[in-house]
Amino acid sequence: MPSGERESATMAVTRRVAELRREGIEVLDLGAGEPDFPSPGTAVKAAQRALDEGRTKYTVLEGTAELRALLADRYCAQGAPWSAANTLVTVGAKAALYQLARAFLSPGDEAVVHTPAWVSIPAQVRLAGAEAVTVAMAAEDGFAIRAQPLIAAMTERTRAVIVNTPCNPTGAVASILDLERLASACAERGALLISDETYERFVYDGRRHASVAALAARYPDTVVLVGSFSKSYAMTGWRVGYLLGSAEVVAAAAAVQSHVTSNATSFAMAGAEAVLAEEPPESAALVAACARRRQVVLRELERVPGVVCPPPAGAFYAFPDVRACLDEACPDSASLCGRLLDEARVAATPGSAFGCEGHIRLSFACSDEELAAGLDGLVRVLGRSTGRVVSSFAAGGRAG
Ligand code: GLU
């Protein structure tokens, strides 16, 4: 019996873009959440060295001792009580989240998830046979991740609350106060607070990222942090992610991993070790580029009256409300994304995939050129749908 779970919408958009490009059609890709920067030279060299030195065999399942120690150190600096024994290296953050779902959720269990949510979070809960109890965050609050509605959705069947801060697709973040409330509520009920902090570096306007690492000493049994090298270091294809939590949590997730992937790729871990050992300047440059591109997106979207886009606090996505652009021929976000692709060759991801109809997700991690051209086409199509586009001059000039 197939699970009935459909292909990840983000992966489907990536696949469609690749297909069109193979056919020789130029596509402006605001779909994929993938930094345009090359992976840091230090990671590449370390991986090459590892290959030359024959680091091509199985490693211990949990990941190399070096990488686990470096990861634990990083989060200890933020107040966590974690050591290498509290650390599991996984095949991307996706696998970390999935292994947690398989280890801790069973049919009859519930996991509380905020929406809009990254497509794979509720899907993975369902793949584990459990129920994803989705709780909508308020659009008028910029989709900020608030503890109170999530706690209110907990029942005696809740085994986990899963947050993603900064959030893909909204860029919304949770404050340390909200995380603290969630950690306390979860600990009281013996549920896990799983915090996916894949976008931890991407926060804007002088904000500081609030991490559950700062709460782990107070709630050592139930706080779990998930992270990734993919976005922070432009290492998407390397597939190296991780989770940190209690020794029991790590053992349970590692047991699942032992049946699914074994260790993360040996030489990819060498690259990950290198960027933790010596912070590559490319990472800060990538975050700075995203901060600049975020301003470009916000300014361009302002040109379409009726399209509303709260500035994302973090991550590298804009999630505008495009209901003003919907009509009979194009009644929902999926058909609007189809129109964008057909008429402007712009790839975007429908909000419905994230549990939030009436919005689309635009990634601004692509190059400046692709972003500028993509936004041009996007504004043209959206403007035609609403019947209006404000000239770039009236909107305050084009960003460079
Ligand atoms: N996380 C990225 C995105 O949302 C990459 C695709 C995926 O893993 O979902 O676009």
131-153 CB burial, b ≥16 within 10 A, e <16: bbbbbebebeebbbbbbeebbeb
Write the CB contacts of 141 (distance below 8 Å, at least 6 apart in sequence).
none
Q: What percentage of residues in the chain have a pLDDT greater than 90? A: 94
Q: What's the length of the chain?
A: 400
Q: pLDDT value at position 32?
A: 86
Q: Is residue 186 part of a domain?
A: yes
Segment (H or E) for 353: none
Residues 289 and 197 in one domain: no
Residues 314 and 181 in one domain: no
Give the pLDDT of residue 399.
36
C-alpha of residue 335 to centroid of ligand 1, in Å:
20
Question: For the segment 201-234, what is each residue's pLDDT rounded down to a tens digit?
Answer: 999 999 999 999 999 999 999 999 999 999 999 9
Considering only CA atoms, which residue is closest to atom 2 of ligand 1?
A: 33
Domain end marker among 239, 261, 277: 277
More confident residue, 71 or 386: 71
Tokens of 346: 């712009």
Helix axes 247-260 and 92-104, enclosed angle (nearest 10)? 110
Residues 243 and 298 in one domain: no
For residue 393, is it within any domain? no
Residue 253: which residues within 8 A CB-CB, separation 6 or more? 88, 90, 96, 99, 100, 103, 243
Q: Residue 286's Cα: distance from chain center in Å?
A: 16
Q: Which range (66-75, 357-366, 382-391) has the least confidence?
A: 382-391
| Domain presence at residue 302 | yes
Give me the residues paired with residue 359 across strands. 321
**Ligand 1, residues 5, 16, 168: which to mutate, most atoms within 8 A of Cβ?**
168
pLDDT of residue 266: 98
| pLDDT at site 390 | 75
Specify the residue with its C-alpha closest to ligand 1, atom 5.
33
Q: How many helices (H) and strands (E) does the chain have?
A: 12, 12
Q: What integer pLDDT is reported at residue 400 of this predicted model?
A: 33
How many domains in the chain? Answer: 2
- 195 found inside a domain: yes
Ligand 1: residue whose CA is nearest its atom 9: 10
The per-residue pLDDT for range 10-26, each reduced to its tens digit, is: 999 999 999 999 999 99
| pLDDT value at residue 279 | 96
Same domain membership, residue 190 and residue 333: no
Residues 125 and 254 in one domain: yes
Pocket (CB within 6 angstroms of ligand 1): 8, 10-11, 32-33, 94, 118-120, 168
Instruction: Give the mean pLDDT of 245-259.
Output: 98
pLDDT band at 310 (very low <50, low <70, confident <90, very high): very high
With bands split at pLDDT 50, 70 and 90, how would you rate the model's confidence at 1? confident
CATH of the domain at 329: 3.90.1150.10
When pLDDT is averaged across residues 29-50 and rounded to a whole number, the result is: 97
Model's pTM, two decimal places?
A: 0.96
Could you tell me if 21 and 51 lie in one domain? no
Q: How far apart are CA 318 and CA 339, in angstroms?
A: 19
Q: Answer yes or no: is 361 within a domain.
A: yes
Q: Are residues 264 and 367 in the same domain?
A: no
Residue 83: what pLDDT? 98
Boundary residue ending a domain (277, 310, 339): 277
Residue 102 has pLDDT above 50, yes or no: yes
At residue 392 the predicted structure's pLDDT band, cuts being 50, 70 and 90, is low
Looking at the structure, tell me whether residues 201 and 258 fall in a common domain. Answer: yes
In a domain, 349, yes or no: yes
Q: Within a domain: residue 396?
A: no
Residues 24 and 46 in one domain: no
Domain with 335 in it: 9-38+281-385
User: What confidence score (pLDDT) does residue 391 get?
Assistant: 66
Q: Looking at 218, 249, 277, which one is the last position of a domain? A: 277
Same domain membership, residue 311 and residue 291 = yes
Same domain, 185 and 69: yes
3-class SS string, 39-107: CCHHHHHHHHHHHHCCCCCCCCCCCCHHHHHHHHHHHHCCCCCCCHHHEEEECHHHHHHHHHHHHHCCC
DSSP string, 207-243: -----GGGGTTTSTTTEEEEEESTTTTT-GGG--EEE
Q: Is residue 398 part of a domain?
A: no
CATH number for the domain including 129? Answer: 3.40.640.10
Q: Using alpha carbons only, give the angle 166, 171, 172 rounded to the nearest 5 degrees.
A: 70
Residues 143-172 have a mean pLDDT of: 98
pLDDT of 176 above 80: yes
Round the CA-based radius of gyration of the chain to a whole number and report it. 21
Pocket test for ligand 1, best of 6, 11, 235 (most atoms within 8 A of CB): 11
| Rounded Cα gap, residues 70 and 48, in angstroms | 20
Element (H, E) at 9: helix 9-22
292, 369: one domain: yes
